[in-house]
């Protein structure tokens, strides 16, 4: 299996954001299919993992981000499974709104451009931490079984 639970949760939160931000019926229908398929993949992944059909060492692909930590304060990702999924959804929502600024970057005041780029970088690091934490929590649950 090429995906982890954290990656699947990430994809689902992004699809839900796209649904929230569109009114196009054709796009909404397509996104609904994606949402249903991702929910089924999550259910199947959990069933397979708990059933021992996915090796524990395959359940994690740490992001292993290499970045200068000094001056790049990334929020800690703590809490139980539900809290981390909620944090991932929140981070993806913030990323959505920052990315919207980039689509019309020429309209961003010069003095704000560096702030937008930095915020995108930090949010992406936090997003990866959330995905890694989901994988760690789930792997721990399955390992204890």
Cα(20)–Cα(144) distance, integer angstroms: 37
- pLDDT of 33 reads 98
Task: List the chain domain ranges.
Answer: 5-144
Q: Among the residues of 21-108, which ranges form H helices?
A: 25-50, 81-103
- pLDDT of 66 reads 61
- In terms of C-beta density within 10 A (0-12 exposed, 13-18 middle, 19 or more buried), how is residue 134 classed? buried
- pLDDT of 21 reads 94
From residue 87, alpha-carbon distances to 8, 13, 63, 75, 113 in Å are 15, 11, 17, 10, 25
**pLDDT, tens digit, for every residue of 12-54?**
999 999 999 999 999 999 999 999 999 999 999 999 999 999 9
Q: 73: helix, coil or strand? A: coil
Show pLDDT as tens, one digit a residue, over the chain (145 residues).
468 999 999 999 999 999 999 999 999 999 999 999 999 999 999 999 999 999 888 888 766 666 666 677 777 888 999 999 999 999 999 999 999 999 999 988 999 999 999 999 899 999 999 999 999 999 999 988 6
């Amino acid at each position: 299996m090429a995906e982890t639970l954290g990656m699947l949760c990430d994809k689902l939160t992004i699809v839900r954001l796209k649904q929230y931000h569109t009114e196009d019926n054709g796009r909404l229908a397509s996104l609904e299919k994606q949402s249903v398929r991702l929910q089924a993949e999550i259910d199947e992944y959990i069933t397979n993992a708990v059933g021992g059909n996915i090796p524990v060492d395959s359940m994690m692909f740490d992001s292993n981000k290499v970045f200068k930590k000094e001056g790049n304060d990334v929020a800690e990702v703590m809490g139980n499974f539900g809290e981390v999924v909620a944090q991932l959804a929140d981070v993806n929502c913030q990323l959505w709104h920052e990315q919207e600024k980039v689509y019309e970057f020429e309209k961003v005041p010069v003095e704000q451009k560096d702030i937008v780029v930095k915020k995108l970088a930090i949010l992406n690091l936090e997003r990866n931490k959330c995905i890694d934490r989901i994988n760690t929590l789930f792997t721990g649950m399955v390992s204890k079984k």
